[in-house]
Amino acid sequence: MTKLKGYRVMLGKTQRDMAKELNISLQSYNNKELGKTPFNDKERLAIKSMVAEIKSDITIDELFYS
């Protein structure tokens, strides 16, 4: 999940910020960013929307599967 971390840093957000926006715990977000547990579809869409602010053509596949 290093690509996701990179985009998070470019957005100027901490893991705590992301967890708050996704309405999940910090520990849960950390586990998801590290790839220990998967993001659900709603979370993937929310993250895609956030990243689209800096990279408008980002895809879910690019964020989570490549």
For 2-64, CATH gives: 1.10.260
How high is the mean pLDDT of the chain?
94
Q: Among 46, 57, 54, 55, which Cα is nearest to 24's? A: 46
Rounded to whole angstroms, how far apart are CA atoms 13 and 31? 17
Confidence of residue 1 (pLDDT cuts 50, 70, 90): low
Instruction: Determine the pLDDT at residue 10.
Output: 95
Q: How far apart are the first and last CA of the chain?
A: 9
Domain ranges in the chain are 2-64
pLDDT above 60 (res 57): yes
Residue 3 CB partners (closer than 8 Å, separation 6+): 62, 63, 66
Residue 29 corresponds to which tokens in the numbers above? Answer: 């977000």
Entry pTM: 0.91
